[in-house]
Structure 1
């Protein structure tokens, strides 16, 4: 795949399917290009002599020797692939396929899309679409879309999986003076996808913020790798819509039921360093502040207001965010007491009362911004007869420039705001009617500062017995089994995950011998791929004395047969007892997501996992810092750290187990789901007590 610079900065664009027929998409694209594009436009249509004064060529092969940088394809779907092949043969590197009727329309369209993808690979084409609205790039006036708005120039680049969303955003943005650098309607993403454009815009010095509307991610692992690097310099803000139950309806494990596709997106987009939002308003609120304001050097915020009620609203919004109210220094309190009226509240939030003119805002704002405990500020004002919003805007702009700290403003009101909002926006200071939006936007700055400060650590590769693990999985596949239980505990042992002493046996005598080797009371479990919840049918016995092992073996088999006469009985597991009283039962599991691959889950385990769902997830491979963060994120983390008189568990052992399991499922894509439940965390280590997994036999 070549660089995409000529896609957005072409000198010559060919419209393949140009026409002047009323209502035709080819007409709209040709007109849009002729209206604003600074380069040359070439019309291609074998059925017309000219279009809007442009000579029509029968094909791109008939165009003279001057190179065409971009071909915009808007011909019927049954001839589109041939047109794209002609473009490739003519040396065109960039193709935007507006034509619909491909993968979105059924099997015939899907076949056309496969053919299109093959042609693109053959000629190494940068192909946008198909089923795309088109692309824009404002520096060269490129409007290769059939939308009715040309974007204003700006420093935000925007991609969308919905063409309709692009047209709506452009209409919305035009009313609010929001500008763009590049815009792409992704369409079906047959070739170029979100990762390609993130990579391109990450290298673009004229793109300060990347925005996106996505319904899915084509390759989750590639997106994480690309975005993780780009977000060190350029923020990415995404709306991700659409949820899918792919894989969840057939989930055979706790992890499969809990870690559905939506959680994969949550984890993947967070690991990629993106900021995910829910609304268009948030998308552009965050874009504006990330583009124009400096990053804060902390999370403490100061509020300056002339209105008590809105000040309280703002304080509540801070409490709901990841920020906190700044505690002013004694010097700041003293200075505010000297310069503010006696009725004012000089503690945060600073209420300078309703008769405050712009000069009083200036004195308060200058004082709090000088406080080293203040990382950012929000100014909240309501209109009064003594306050000029234009004068207040000038004060805010001056103070923001003087202290170079992020400020957001809330000028409540309508017509009284007047020219103040444009003054603030021109200076890069965002202003909102709702104080919660101001606080949320500042919190987005804080979050991006945290993302930028992350240090990515490569996942550790442990010395494991991969061949032994492969043998275990292949043996199961050869026997036609796709669901495994404790009989596969050696799989964990091969990857260095501690398991209790024991084995699966097929006779009472062998069971007794294992118990004698262990030398203490044991746990015994029926082993059957047809019986998933063993304890529900009496298939588990705990604390069995060695002399009772023979009888218990027989009892377990009988109970299993009584529950399901035709159940496959693989034997009985005889296992060393693990002290659950001195440990904490956790769960460690994996569910393989269609887009992001293996999703590793950790949380509170045992019988309560599906009730409490106190879990957190990461996309594998998981590094040591990411595994450590997983322990911090669960609500029951205090149970691991000595809460209510419990012994503190060995967290490093859990972290290492998370990494080792992550390596196992990364090495073996055949593992679709896996549960270690419980993973007993104790002061002296972590032990996997039970195992359940599902495999794809065809992947082995």
Structure 2
């Protein structure tokens, strides 16, 4: 789907309500009433059963109505498709389908939704819904929903897959004085989805922050691309519900077992530059500071307070974050020493103590923000008889503007904070009762700063042998199976991932001959697509001398037959030994996610990979920088870099192997899951010791 122009959804001059009525308790009545009461443009009721609705001329159909920019459809589901077709015939470009009874209701509804999509495609309609609460836009005072409240004006645009969530959020936000520009209830996302609105709001100069509540993303790859573009200038904050692994594919690889459905969202949203939050409070905590405050140049925070206990709480919160406490310059310390009483703490956090009046607070905040080592500040106060919160709020707003550094306020209390919060809000400064929330919000500001400044790096394209790889993958199809094991080691060779010398043989005599062509002792492994965990059944022999190869071959085959008599035995792999003592066992793998596609894994490998779970994920394809980040993120990274006197491993080889695997699984969508475990990294290089993968033979 290309970029759609959605401006007329949010700034229409004339809105038609198809299904308008005065019937008590009806959705058609609620939408007409909401529009009639506030909308700057013209409201056009459409219903063949009325001549007028609330004094407004009512038209029998869209064809007879004056030209409209937006049609809101609230008619029974069995006639909805016809009404949307009428909209297309009448030249209406934008349609919001409120009506439920589509894909969310079963087979009949799903068929009806498919018809709706076909009509929308035929007329190239921008269609929201079906099963939508509607849309809002405060610049034109449009509430084209059946919710009870309009939004307050603001610079946040908000989309939600849940209409009920929107009504609850707006009720709360109105009490808090939080405003929005546009609000969209996505409904079933038959046509327009989250990606379309990310694109539209990312290009909208009046949207400062994009907020989203999503239960799923339709096309993860397209969403990542759109969000990357949007977050250059506009932060995206999202609650993504549904963290369980229900719905994930049945898996047999380590990667698939560790991935789970939510891992793909974590990786994809991170690569897209989306700030994912856990709950609604964080959604709006982050949104307020992102909308109102400048991005900090430094990560160091100053704390100014009149209360020791909250100051300590704030310090702890900074320690739990990616921020750090600022170290003041000597000039700042000297100035604070002159301005503060002897009992005050002039080091960070600055404790102006309980009798601090507005002048002392003002001076402390001013000096803290002026210090070149300070990137941001938290100003917190407990209520006292000598401090007036509205005066303190005015001082905070003034000084934040003077120094142009982000400030989060924590004016603790109840009713006495109300006027102060209003003053702070007008200055773009959020107030948080809990100082930990203030610190987390500043942390989010720093995270978005880094997101907005990053440069997207195109993945490296390596010279590989795709035809050889295709032939190897086709072996599974040729034998009527969808799994490959060590017999597919050549697949890695085709994509330039180093492997030890080795060969697969189907007779003990051939095993002896193969071992004689390899220097030193060898490793021998049973080769069977039906036996996934070879080491569990004794299907691997390490350090086999030439004279023992014949017996080792027969022993491996016997063990496999005893373990699973009906297993397909392709033979035994005879492979050169790799010095595991001087190396680190890692794993690289992939599990293909239904929404985001190939989800790469990197981590500490070996037989304990699923127990230790020292892993990280990215959506392929990945760039060199992203591959390096994957290595840095695992706890075992110091082992690769030479911790405790070990020689550093070939990290560059690991980086390149991750990228080459990324290219492999991107080139071949038929690969559903894949493990290279272990990929051994030694000072002399990397070697892929073992592989197993599952393929969709219909894709080959």
Deviations 1:418-461 (A, max 9, x none): 52221111111211211111111111111111111111101111
In structure 1, C-alpha distance between the alignment counterparts of 2:693 and 2:264, rounded to whole Å: 19
Deviates more, 1:413-422 or 1:168-177: 413-422
1:126-525 aligned within 5 A: 126-246=126-246, 248=248, 250-525=250-525
Find the aligned partners of 2:395 and 2:476 in 1 and give their Cα distance. Answer: 73
User: How far apart are the structure 1 equivalents of 2:417 and 2:75?
Assistant: 49
Assess, with a 3 A threshold, how the Cα gap between structure 1 residues 372 and 156 changes in structure 2: closer, same or farther.
same
1:56 Cα shift? 2.7
Give 1:244 deviation, angstroms: 4.1
Q: Secondary structure at the match of 1:92?
A: coil
Work out the CA distance in 2 between the residues paired with 1:248 and 1:582: 37
Sort the Cα spacing of 1:88 and 1:418 in 2 relative to 1 into closer, same or farther, 3 A. closer
Q: CA deviation at 1:231?
A: 0.3
2:87 is aligned with 1:87 = yes
Secondary structure of 2:63's counterpart equals helix
- Counterpart of 1:122? 122
Q: Is the 8 A contact 1:247 1:593 kept in 2?
A: no
In structure 1, the residue matched to 2:6 is: 4
Q: Name the counterpart of 1:30.
A: 32
Map 1:520-539 → 2, pairs under 5 A: 520-539=520-539
- 1:97 is matched with 97
Q: Alpha-carbon deviation of 1:141? A: 1.5
What is the correspondence of 1:614-625 to structure 2 with a 5 Å cutoff? 614-625=614-625
Give CA deviations for 1:247-305 in whole Å, capped at 9, x if unaligned.
64621011101011111111111110011111211111111111111100011000011
Structure 1: gaps (5+ residues): none
Aligned-partner Cα distance in 2 for 1:546–1:246 = 49
| Structure 1 position 85, deviation (Å) | 0.9
- Residue-by-residue CA offset, 1:204-262 (whole Å, 9 max, x unaligned): 11111110100001110011000011101001111111134256462101110101111
User: C-alpha separation between the residues in 2 aligned to 1:244 and 1:400?
Assistant: 42
Q: Which stretch of the first structure deviates more once superposed, 579-588 or 276-285?
A: 276-285
- 1:538 shift after superposition: 1.1
Q: CA deviation at 1:47?
A: 2.6
User: Within 2, Cα distance between the matches of 1:247 and 1:112?
Assistant: 24
Counterpart of 1:61? 63
Deviation of 1:520 (Å):
2.1
Q: Would the aligned equivalents of 1:412 and 1:433 in 2 still touch at CA under 8 Å? A: yes
* Distance in 1, Cα, partners of 2:669 & 2:637: 30
Distance 1:286 1:670 in 2: 40
How far does the alpha carbon of each residue in 1:340-391 deviate from its partner, in whole angstroms, 9 at most, with x for none? 1111111111111111111111111111212111111111111111112222
Q: Indicate the larger mover: 162-171 or 37-46.
A: 37-46
- CA offsets 1:307-346 (integer angstroms, 9 cap, x no match): 1101000101111111000111112112211221111111
Q: Within 2, Cα distance between the matches of 1:689 and 1:431?
A: 56
Paired position in structure 2 for 1:18: 20
Counterpart CA distance in 1 for 2:143 and 2:494 is 58
CA RMSD of aligned residues (A): 1.2
What per-residue deviation string (whole Å, max 9, x for no partner) do you get for residues 386-420 of structure 1?
Answer: 11222211221121111111111111112332522
Cα distance in 2 for residues equivalent to 1:684 and 1:600: 25
Cα offset for 1:58? 2.4
Runs of 4+ in 1 over 6 A off after TM superposition: none
Paired residue secondary structure (2:586)? strand
Unmatched segments (≥5 aa) in structure 2: none
Distance across 2 between alignment mates of 1:521 and 1:496: 25
Cα distance, 1:20–1:247 mapped onto 2, change above 3 Å: closer
Could you say which residue in structure 1 is the equivalent of 2:559?
559
Corresponding residue of 1:673: 673
**Is 1:582 equivalent to 2:579 in the alignment?**
no
Q: Does 1:661 align with 2:661?
A: yes
The answer as to whether partners of 1:248 and 1:257 remain within 8 angstroms in 2 is no
CA distance in 2, matches of 1:244, 1:597: 18
The whole-number CA distance in structure 2 between the counterparts of 1:418 and 1:212 is: 28
If the length of structure 2 is used for normalisation, what is the TM-score? Answer: 0.98
Moved more, 75-84 or 383-392: 383-392
Helix, strand or coil for the counterpart of 2:314? helix
Q: Distance in 1 between matches of 2:279 and 2:539?
A: 50
Which range moved further: 184-193 or 431-440? 431-440
Structure 2 counterpart of 1:46: 48
Distance between the aligned counterparts of 2:590 and 2:105, measured in 1?
A: 34
**Matched-pair contact (CA < 8 Å) for 1:293–1:406:** yes
CA drift of 1:90 comes to 1.1
* 1:601-652 per-position Cα deviation (integer Å, ceiling 9, x unaligned): 0000001111110000000001111000001101111111111221111111
Distance across 1 between alignment mates of 2:391 and 2:411:
12
CA distance in 1, matches of 2:218, 2:185: 15
Cα deviations by residue, 1:115-140 (Å, 9 ceiling, x for unpaired): 11111111111010110000011111
